[in-house]
Amino acid sequence: MFILVTGISGLERKRAYELLPKDYRVINLGDYMIKIAKECAMTLDEHNILHAGRDTLAALRAAAICRARSECESGKPGDLPIILSTHSVFSGLHGLVAGLTSRDVKEIKHIKCLITLIDGPQAIKERLRNHKAEYLQHKVWDVVRWQELEVFFSHHLAGELDDVRHYVVPTTQPDVFAAICQGDKRKTAYVSFPMTHASNSAKEKITKFKERLKEHFIVVDPAAIESSHATGDDQSIQDRNAVWSHTIVRDLEWFIGISADTVIAYWPEVTFSSGMSDELRYAFVIGKSTVLVTEHTKMDGLPVLSPFQTYKSTVFWSSDEYFEFLGLSDQDREIYSLCQAVMTEQFRAHESHMTELDLDFFKKESKRVAKYRLTEEALSAVNDRLSDIAETVFRSWEPQIDRASQPKTSQ
DSSP characters for 353-364? TSS---HHHHHH
**Beta-sheet strand order (sheet of 82-86):** 25-28, 82-86, 2-6, 111-118, 165-170
Model confidence, pTM? 0.88
Per-residue tens of pLDDT for the chain, all 411 residues? 899 999 999 999 999 999 999 889 999 999 999 999 999 999 998 888 888 889 999 999 999 999 998 888 877 767 788 999 999 999 877 788 899 999 999 898 889 999 999 999 988 988 888 776 666 678 888 899 999 999 999 999 999 888 899 999 999 999 999 999 999 999 999 999 887 777 788 889 999 999 999 999 999 999 988 765 555 666 778 888 888 889 999 999 999 999 999 999 998 877 766 778 899 999 999 999 999 998 865 445 445 555 555 556 788 888 999 999 999 998 899 999 999 888 888 887 777 666 678 899 999 999 999 998 888 888 888 889 999 999 999 988 887 777 766 665 544
Calculate the alpha carbon distances from 301 to 142, 346, 347 in Å.
50, 19, 16
* DSSP H or E stretch at residue 14: none
* Structural domains present in the chain: 1-185 (3.40.50.300)
Q: Which DSSP symbol is given to 51?
A: G
d(CA 398, CA 161): 50
**C-alpha Rg value of the chain to the nearest Å:** 26
* Cα gap 258→186, rounded to integer Å: 16
Spell out the long-range contacts of 367-371 with Cβ–Cβ below 8 A and sequence spacing 24 or more.
369/338, 369/341, 369/342, 370/335, 370/338
Nearest C-alpha neighbor of 81 from the set 132, 23, 139, 40: 23
- Phi and psi, residue 165, nearest 5°: -90, 145
Question: CB-side exposure of 162: number of CA atoms within 13 Å?
Answer: 2
H-type helices in 96-139, by residue range? 102-108, 121-128
Please give, one letter per residue, the 3-state secondary structure of 282-295: HHHHCCCEEEEEEC
In this structure, are residues 279 and 190 in contact, taking their beta carbons and an 8 Å threshold?
A: yes
d(CA 354, CA 371): 24
Closest CA to 262 of 358, 192, 163: 192
pLDDT of residue 303: 53
Q: CA–CA separation, 38 vs 57, rounded Å?
A: 13
Query: Nearest CA to 184 among 106, 86, 261, 279?
Result: 261
